[in-house]
Amino acid sequence: MVDILARDIILIVYMLWLIITGVLVFFMQAGFAFLESGQVRSKNATHVYMKVCANIGLGTLVWWLFGFAIFSGNWNYCLLGVTDPGSVDKLNVYGHWFTMWGFCLVSCSIASGSIAERFSFKAYLIYVVLYCGFMYPFFWMDGLVGRAVVKMGLCGLCRFRSCPFSGRPDGPYRCNDCWSEA
């Protein structure tokens, strides 16, 4: 009885840790939005915030529908269809889902910085579906850290090489000043 109680307490603390880290990783979205909006022309700052909102909304939907099932390798988790969601062991699945959801959205957002002012919004929505539904689950299912840099860098490199900036001045770069104009 004591062993079962201790095991449940350890599992609950672990799940709490997963939720806290998931929240912290999720709030990186705001930082990336501010960073990216400072690096684009002021007319495109709204487009950056629209991309972040689409990333959160559509990325969450795709991750919930089938991304986590591909990631975990268990199709019982499709639509997060966990049997008996009240048990402590199943709560661990929800904590893991939440943390990996945060990493999925943030990695998608990091790669979107390299396509600022180059992608149409419809193309970005397609990118979010493909990234959150297939690329992230397939390439991250075996590890957490090492492959992220390679994958995000390759996404950015592919987009960077496929279409250069249009209408961008060749002079020295200057950050936009949209916050002081308000």
- Quote the pLDDT of residue 92: 73
- Quote the pLDDT of residue 182: 47
Is residue 49 pLDDT above 70, yes or no? yes
Q: Which of 79, 78, 60, 81 is nearest to 131 (CA)?
A: 60
Rounded Cα distance between 22 and 83, Å, is 23
Read off the pLDDT of residues 138-160 as tens digits, 9 standing for 90 and up.
777 666 555 554 555 666 666 55
Is residue 129 pLDDT above 90, yes or no? yes
Please compute the mean of the pLDDT values over residues 105-124 and round it to a whole number: 83
Please compute the mean of the pLDDT values over residues 66-85 and round it to a whole number: 69
Say how far residue 88 (Cα) sits from the centre of its chain.
27
C-alpha distances in Å from residue 173, one per residue of 39, 40, 176: 9, 10, 9
Domain ranges of the chain: 2-161
Binning pLDDT at 50, 70 and 90, where does residue 52 land? Answer: very high
3-state class of 75 per DSSP? Answer: helix
Contact criterion met (CB below 8 Å) for 121 and 47: yes
78 or 98, greater pLDDT: 98
95 or 52, greater pLDDT: 52
Please compute the mean of the pLDDT values over residues 77-102 and round it to a whole number: 69
- Quote the pLDDT of residue 43: 83
Tokens standing for residue 143: 């590890």
C-alpha distances in Å from residue 109, one per residue of 6, 61, 88, 94, 181: 39, 16, 32, 22, 26
Q: Which residues contact 62 (CB under 8 A, 6 or more apart)?
A: 128, 129, 132, 133
Please compute the mean of the pLDDT values over residues 24-30 and round it to a whole number: 91
Rounded Cα distance between 88 and 100, Å, is 19
162 or 39, greater pLDDT: 39
Classify residue 107 as exposed, middle or buried by CB count within 10 Å of its CB (0-12, 13-18, 19+).
buried
- Quote the pLDDT of residue 115: 79
Rounded Cα distance between 63 and 131, Å, is 10
Please compute the mean of the pLDDT values over residues 84-91 and round it to a whole number: 56
Binning pLDDT at 50, 70 and 90, where does residue 53 land? Answer: very high
Is residue 134 pLDDT above 80, yes or no? yes
